[in-house]
């Protein structure tokens, strides 16, 4: 998927049948780390290259990359025939614990619960967290419930979210031999 706006230029390639080969370059180091975790732990091959107006801030780069990833996911899923459709995961990262459930339904919906955390991880604006998932959900046309049950370290809170989404997605995209879509 190619996405070009006044603020950014994004290229996303995904292979749902991959082995977790990852190359993510957005110019936003913490976001690169999180998207890399999403690819690695879902088993999806993921290549992302984004050039954005990060000299202003990272908002457009993160948003446009998330939208392009969501669109790429939707296109890669095709008609979804024979997949499990649903997936869930419970992932701890030290003191953080995140529960995620996914439905590859074709209907975008996000439920997002996270405790208050610091506003910056390095230079990454943590207030973009919910917006990342909103953008992915909108373009992928999937439902995701993300609940951070415990957590105070912002890095751990985010990492447990991305890994939990990855593990739930890994289960939801698996083929299960059922004809059609469950």
Residue 176 is predicted with a pLDDT of 87
Residue 177 is predicted with a pLDDT of 76
Residue 181 is predicted with a pLDDT of 64
Cα 82 from Cα 121, distance rounded (Å): 40
CA distances to 31, 68, 133 from 139, in Å: 18, 8, 10
Count of positions (residues) in the chain: 182
Cα 49 from Cα 107, distance rounded (Å): 27
Residue 20 is predicted with a pLDDT of 87
Strand order of the sheet with strand 109-113? 86-93, 96-103, 143-150, 109-113
**Cβ proximity of 91 and 97 under 8 Å:** yes
Task: Give the tens place of pLDDT for each residue, 21-42.
Answer: 999 999 999 999 999 999 999 9
3-state secondary structure at position 76: helix
Most confident of 79-88, 115-124, 136-145: 136-145
Q: Are strands 8-15 and 45-52 parallel, antiparallel or unpaired?
A: antiparallel
Average pLDDT for 99-127: 95
Residue 172 is predicted with a pLDDT of 97
Percent of the chain residues topping a pLDDT of 90: 92
Residue 115 is predicted with a pLDDT of 93
Whether the predicted pLDDT of 120 surpasses 90: yes
Task: Give the tens place of pLDDT for each residue, 130-171.
Answer: 999 999 999 999 999 999 999 999 999 999 999 999 999 999
What does pLDDT average to over the chain? Answer: 95
Cα 92 from Cα 98, distance rounded (Å): 6
Whether the predicted pLDDT of 178 surpasses 90: no
Q: 23 CB contacts (<8 Å, ≥6 apart)?
A: 46, 47, 48, 49
């Amino acid at each position: 998927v190619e996405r070009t706006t006044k603020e950014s230029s994004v290229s996303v390639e995904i292979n749902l049948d991959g082995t977790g080969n990852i190359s993510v370059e957005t110019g936003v180091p913490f976001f690169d780390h999180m998207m890399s975790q999403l690819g690695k732990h879902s088993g999806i091959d993921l290549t992302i290259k984004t050039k954005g107006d990060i000299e202003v801030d990272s908002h457009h780069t993160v948003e446009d990359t998330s939208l392009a990833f969501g669109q790429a996911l939707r296109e890669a899923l095709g008609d979804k025939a024979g997949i499990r459709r649903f997936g869930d995961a419970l992932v701890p990262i030290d003191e953080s614990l995140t529960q995620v459930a996914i439905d590859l339904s074709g209907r975008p919906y996000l439920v997002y619960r996270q405790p208050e955390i610091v506003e910056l991880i390095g230079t990454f604006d943590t207030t973009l967290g919910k917006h990342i998932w909103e953008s992915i959900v909108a373009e992928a046309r999937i439902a995701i419930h993300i609940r951070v049950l415990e957590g105070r370290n912002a890095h751990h809170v985010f990492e447990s979210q991305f890994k939990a989404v990855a593990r739930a997605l890994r289960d939801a995209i698996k083929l299960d031999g059922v004809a059609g879509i469950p």
